[in-house]
Structure 1
Amino acid sequence: MNFPLATAALNSMTVQQMVELIRPKLKRVIIILNNKGGAGKTTTTANVGGQLATALAAAGSSKRILCIDLDPQGNLGLDLGYQGRTGDDQGQSIINVVEGTGPLHVIRDVRPNLDVIPGGKVLKRITASIIGTRSMDPGREIMLSLAQAIAEISDDYEWILIDCPPNIVDLQYLAAVAAEYVLIPVCFDQGSIQGLEGVSDVFEASARLNPSLTPLGVLLFGFDRTNLRKVKNSEGEVIGVREIGFLAESRREITEVLGDSGIPILQTVITRAVKVARECRKRGKTFTELADLTAGEDWKEHSRRHQLNLSVESAETSAIEIEEVTAEIIKRALELEAEAHA
């Protein structure tokens, strides 16, 4: 059967048949989730999505990356620079999908090979929309609606990343039912670590409609660079880094929280770079794009004129970290994919 599905075909299917039909279309959907705000979810979505799209464009691939914003704050639009522009419906198409009144609205070519489905303040209506739709159509499995809508367009995309909001259960549940993998950014504060513990509730809630949801790993986000020490060999060459202080302590604490869950902590750490993050959001640039900008000949004059204290090195460091963590994320996902098909 081909996508999109006709209404008659949908009505004739059981929930289990629908799940079995759409799951193969969702094998490369990753949700970025933590119940704590400010844990780095949106920054991770924008920068990993941007990095993957850049790689596809450089390879001359016709495949694309899709980023979906499920957060009513809509900050993905700030990070990628499309907020308030033509096509930014502030999440209306996601509500339409839930209510069964329309398809997902895709903004094409936010970057070469990168598309987005915008979120924003309209998503605050999600719970009311679900309740209202259930009252009008009690037989419909609403929590499959986003998964079905993504499945209908998934053939166009190599990877699909979904930025989830903190503490909005209905949106988290919709995302979890539509995903194959969960990436969990954890920031340096205790609240972010506690937010990690709440992620298990999402797994439990989505298990009936998505038993294949798999943890991709925990991403340590926003830790101080002073907690990383260079490791040198006898000749003085840098051969690695060693975690110390609060970062090392946090990795141990998170490992204890994870227990025997089998969820790994990614090796790459995204270190705190407040000035870089501020400039990125202000300009609608990814870390890599800002690093390219700061390396330009006129950056020093621009920085002097606008009193910007942002070095080329700090922007470049953030860009390198995103490149490394993107490679680690995809390597892990492909390993899990290979295991599933073994």
Structure 2
Amino acid sequence: MSKIIAFFNQAGGVAKTTITQNLGYHLARNHHRVLLVDLDPQASLTSFMGLEPADIDITVYNLLMNDDLEKEDIKKSVHLNLHSMDLLPANILLANAEQELIFAELRELRLKQVLELIAEDYDFILIDCPPSLGILSHISLVAADYILVPIQCQFKALKGTDSLLKTVARIRKRLNPRLKIVGFLPTMYQVSNSLDNRTLDAIQEQLRAIAPVFPPMIRATAIAEASEMGKPLALCPNKHKNTLELFDLLATEMEKL
């Protein structure tokens, strides 16, 4: 049975997309069947995978708004074997879903129903959530089994986890009791920055009682370069050893779920 993991934080710029792509690649490299789902209207994951969102005719938006969805509809929209992974892409049309789903029947279950039709084809389905607490994030959490929370090493980001945790608690209570936070991943960390170090200590102290706090993801130029190239970091010439080791660790932990 596939494991569905949502990468969720209402804050932007916390490396959700980078983590989704690279963790997916490391899982695929370990011989797992991996589907990436871009549920952000900014379509950064789609771009990071080397596609041009504006050129894609059928995206996750079309599937969410289809009341008579069949598995063949999904297969037509999935892009196969991009860096050993499959991708359900997005583009700017997904922004319309925030309004259109308000009036849709069983709107909370729309993504869950899409993924249930193809779950048997994958070992891992990774959802890149938008940076908001809106309906797209909600339907991601309803569809997911697990959440991994990237959190930037800034006190403002740490304070924002209160709203995030309340949202998760509401979803778990009302719509998805199986939902579990598998960990917090500190990001954008600079070893030499004293503020980052104090924030990292605070993240570990305040959140480790809720779920494991993974080693921090260091801010590195190589990661940004990989995104520009439309490839996972491991496939780029300028590699960052600590980050690759972190993704290996994360892949091992996700395999234990």
Q: Contact (CA 8 Å) 1:217, 1:263: kept in 2 or not?
A: yes
In structure 1, runs of 5+ residues without a counterpart are 1-24, 57-62, 134-139, 228-244, 295-313, 335-342
Given candidates 119, 126, 132, the residue that maps to 2:103 is: 132
Give how far 1:67 is off.
0.7
What corresponds to 1:323 in structure 2? 248
**Equivalents in 1 of 2:68, 2:156: separation in Å?**
38
Q: Contact (CA 8 Å) 1:37, 1:166: kept in 2 or not?
A: yes
**Equivalents in 1 of 2:146, 2:167: separation in Å?**
12
1:146-295 aligned at under 5 Å gives the runs 146-207=111-172, 208-226=174-192, 245-258=194-207, 260=209, 262-266=210-214, 268-273=215-220, 275-290=221-236, 293-294=237-238
What corresponds to 2:82 in structure 1? 110
Q: Contact (CA 8 Å) 1:78, 1:284: kept in 2 or not?
A: yes
**Equivalents in 1 of 2:110, 2:164: separation in Å?**
21
Give how far 1:55 is off.
1.7
Give how far 1:224 is off.
1.1
Pairs aligned (count): 251
The structure, 1 or 2, with the larger RCO (C-alpha pairs under 8 Å, 6+ apart) is 2
CA displacement 1:210-265 (0-9 Å, x = unmatched): 111001010111201446xxxxxxxxxxxxxxxxx4444223312444374x3221
CA displacement 1:100-155 (0-9 Å, x = unmatched): 2544321111122x11111221111122211232xxxxxx4221121111011000
Q: Contact (CA 8 Å) 2:49, 2:230: kept in 1 or not?
A: yes
Q: Contact (CA 8 Å) 2:63, 2:114: kept in 1 or not?
A: no
What corresponds to 2:28 in structure 1? 53
Q: Aligned partner of 2:50: which letter?
A: G
Taking structure 2 as the reference length, what is the TM-score of the superposition? Answer: 0.87
Q: Aligned partner of 1:220: which letter?
A: P
Q: Aligned partner of 1:124: which letter?
A: A
What corresponds to 1:337 in structure 2? none
Identical aligned residues as a percent: 27
**Equivalents in 2 of 1:278, 1:217: separation in Å?**
24
**Equivalents in 2 of 1:78, 1:330: separation in Å?**
27
CA displacement 1:178-200 (0-9 Å, x = unmatched): 01111000112233223322212
Q: Contact (CA 8 Å) 2:53, 2:91: kept in 1 or not?
A: no
**Equivalents in 2 of 1:257, 1:68: separation in Å?**
30
**Equivalents in 1 of 2:206, 2:131: separation in Å?**
19
Distance 1:88 1:32, change over 3 A: farther
Give how far 1:77 is off.
1.6
Give how far 1:325 is off.
2.8
What corresponds to 1:305 in structure 2? none
**Equivalents in 2 of 1:322, 1:38: separation in Å?**
18
**Equivalents in 2 of 1:217, 1:87: separation in Å?**
33
The SS at the match of 1:71 is: coil
**Equivalents in 2 of 1:281, 1:203: separation in Å?**
29
In structure 2, runs of 5+ residues without a counterpart are none
Distance 1:110 1:222, change over 3 A: same
Distance 1:87 1:120, change over 3 A: closer
Q: Contact (CA 8 Å) 1:87, 1:107: kept in 2 or not?
A: no
**Equivalents in 2 of 1:54, 1:86: separation in Å?**
28
